[in-house]
């Protein structure tokens, strides 16, 4: 028994799937507690799980509760995370304290990867990852998500990174850390609310089967770290880039004026953008997460079909 297993509480449904080599897809909880307002957040969390199930995979939303890493949550757990005011945003550096103190914690991309790997889950669906923030030169703000992608062998499916970040620098950082970014039916980096950016990708695929082969090969090569799959928002849900750029610029400027720092930056910006777009950005955010859930489950399924 591994020493960390004493802290894992894996839902029976997830355990059964793992034992039988069935596809399991991990989901983060910071997107619920700090990424979207109530009650849209809990609606999102439940719908994402149902999309993954409808593709024949098992969802496993991850959070820290009662001194345990819970892998697979009940609807009641999701409601608690969505509603509570005192949920800690837990990244790698926060994990031990929040578990030891038995506080309620929502996992970011970085900590969800760590917990998923402990439970032997290979795939993880989210909306957007953290990255190198704009104004990095003075703040030194780089999300721990990026280093985690280079360390932890969990494959992450997202819609790129939000334009609240410095996208070219985020891509440079991933390159330095040796993280493979693979476009799913796109040759350029999608920018979350929009399908495209100026950044060309070095690797892209057209199908879940092609991705499954790359992931299988990466594992056989024993390369550490995760693969980052970037999947563009559907055309009908994407927003106008110029409109969003202006809103994001204002939100970033306001965050500097308001002296927002550290882990509060991302939630602050997400909230401001939803307010400024009168909910339009939230609708886009929901749509891209659902799309990622669909694609992520298909990739997980293709992978387990391949290794059978």
**Residues at the contact surface with ligand PSU, assessed by CB under 6 A:** 28, 30-31, 35, 91, 108-109, 127-128, 130, 143-145, 162, 263, 266, 270
C-beta nearest to ligand PSU: residue? 35
Secondary structure of residue 294 in the 3-state scheme: helix
Exactly one of 28, 55, 117, 148 is catalytic; which is it? 28
Query: Which partner in Mn ion, ligand PSU, none is near 145 (CB below 5 to 8 A by kind)?
Result: ligand PSU
Minimum distance from CB of 305 to ligand PSU (Å)?
Answer: 29
Cβ proximity to Mn ion: between 165 and 299 the closer is 165
Which residue, among 110, 270, 120, has the nearest Cα to 179 in the 3D structure? 110
Contact 14, 20 (CB under 8 A): no
Minimum distance from CB of 297 to ligand PSU (Å)?
Answer: 20
Cβ proximity to ligand PSU: between 67 and 267 the closer is 267
Minimum distance from CB of 265 to ligand PSU (Å)?
Answer: 6
| Residue 94 binds to Mn ion (criterion: CB under 5 A) | no
Exactly one of 162, 263, 272, 298 is catalytic; which is it? 162
C-alpha Rg value of the chain to the nearest Å: 18
Write out the two tokens for 146.
């990026």
Binding mask 233-272 for Mn ion (x = CB under 5 A): ----------------------------------------
Query: Which partner in Mn ion, ligand PSU, none is near 183 (CB below 5 to 8 A by kind)?
Result: none
Minimum distance from CB of 193 to ligand PSU (Å)?
Answer: 9
Which residue, among 113, 101, 121, 130, has the nearest Cα to 35 in the 3D structure? 130
Cβ proximity to Mn ion: between 108 and 291 the closer is 108
Cα 174 to its chain centre, rounded Å, is 15
Minimum distance from CB of 205 to ligand PSU (Å)?
Answer: 23
Query: Which partner in ligand PSU, Mn ion, none is near 31 (CB below 5 to 8 A by kind)?
Result: ligand PSU
Write out the two tokens for 43.
């609606």
Which residue, among 225, 224, 228, 177, has the nearest Cα to 204 in the 3D structure? 228
Cβ proximity to ligand PSU: between 193 and 204 the closer is 193
Query: Which partner in Mn ion, ligand PSU, none is near 35 (CB below 5 to 8 A by kind)?
Result: ligand PSU
Interface residues for Mn ion in 131-150 (CB under 5 A)? 141
The answer to whether residue 162 is catalytic is yes
Cβ proximity to ligand PSU: between 56 and 168 the closer is 168
Cα 298 to its chain centre, rounded Å, is 17
What is the rounded CA–CA span in Å between residue 299 and residue 57?
10
Size of the site for Mn ion (CB under 5 A): 1
Cβ proximity to ligand PSU: between 144 and 188 the closer is 144
Query: Which partner in Mn ion, ligand PSU, none is near 108 (CB below 5 to 8 A by kind)?
Result: ligand PSU
What is the rounded CA–CA span in Å between residue 224 and residue 261?
31
Contact 51, 294 (CB under 8 A): yes
Cα 196 to its chain centre, rounded Å, is 19
Q: Sign of the C-alpha dihedral, residues 298, 182, 174, 291?
A: negative
What is the rounded CA–CA span in Å between residue 53 and residue 168?
35
What is the rounded CA–CA span in Å between residue 202 and residue 200?
7
Q: What is the 3-state secondary structure (H, E, C) of 48-101?
A: HHHHHHHCCCEEEEEEEECCEEEECCCHHHHHHHHHCCCCEEECHHHHHHHHHC
Query: Which partner in ligand PSU, Mn ion, none is near 277 (CB below 5 to 8 A by kind)?
Result: none
Binding interface with Mn ion (CB under 5 A): 141
Active site residue ranges: 28, 162
């Amino acid at each position: 028994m591994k020493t960390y297993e004493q802290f894992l509480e894996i839902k029976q449904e997830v355990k059964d799937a793992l034992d039988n080599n069935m596809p399991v897809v991990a989901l983060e909880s910071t997107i619920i507690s700090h990424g979207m307002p109530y009650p849209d957040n809990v609606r999102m969390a439940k719908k994402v799980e149902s999309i993954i199930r409808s593709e024949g995979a098992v969802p496993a939303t991850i959070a820290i509760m009662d001194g345990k890493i819970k892998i697979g949550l009940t609807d009641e757990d999701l409601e608690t995370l969505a509603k509570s005011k005192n949920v800690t945003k837990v990244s790698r550096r926060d994990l031990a304290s929040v578990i030891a103190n038995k506080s309620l914690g929502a996992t970011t991309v970085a900590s969800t990867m760590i917990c998923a790997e402990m439970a032997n889950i290979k795939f993880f669906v989210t909306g957007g990852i953290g990255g190198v923030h704009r104004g990095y030169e003075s703040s030194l703000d780089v999300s721990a998500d990026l280093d985690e992608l280079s360390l932890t062998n969990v494959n992450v499916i997202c819609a790129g990174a939000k334009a609240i970040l410095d996208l070219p620098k985020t891509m440079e950082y991933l390159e330095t850390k040796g993280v493979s970014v693979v476009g799913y039916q796109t040759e350029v980096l999608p920018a979350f609310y929009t399908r495209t950016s100026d950044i060309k990708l070095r690797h892209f695929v057209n199908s879940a089967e092609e991705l499954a082969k790359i992931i299988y090969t990466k594992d056989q090569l024993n390369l550490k770290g995760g693969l980052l799959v970037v999947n563009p928002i559907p055309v009908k849900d994407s927003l106008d880039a110029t409109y969003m750029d202006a809103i994001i610029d204002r939100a970033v400027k306001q965050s500097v004026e308001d002296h927002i720092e550290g882990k509060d930056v991302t939630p602050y910006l997400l909230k401001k953008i939803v307010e400024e777009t009168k909910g339009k950005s939230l609708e886009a955010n929901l749509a891209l997460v659902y799309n990622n859930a669909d694609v992520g489950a298909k990739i997980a399924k293709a992978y387990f079909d391949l290794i059978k």
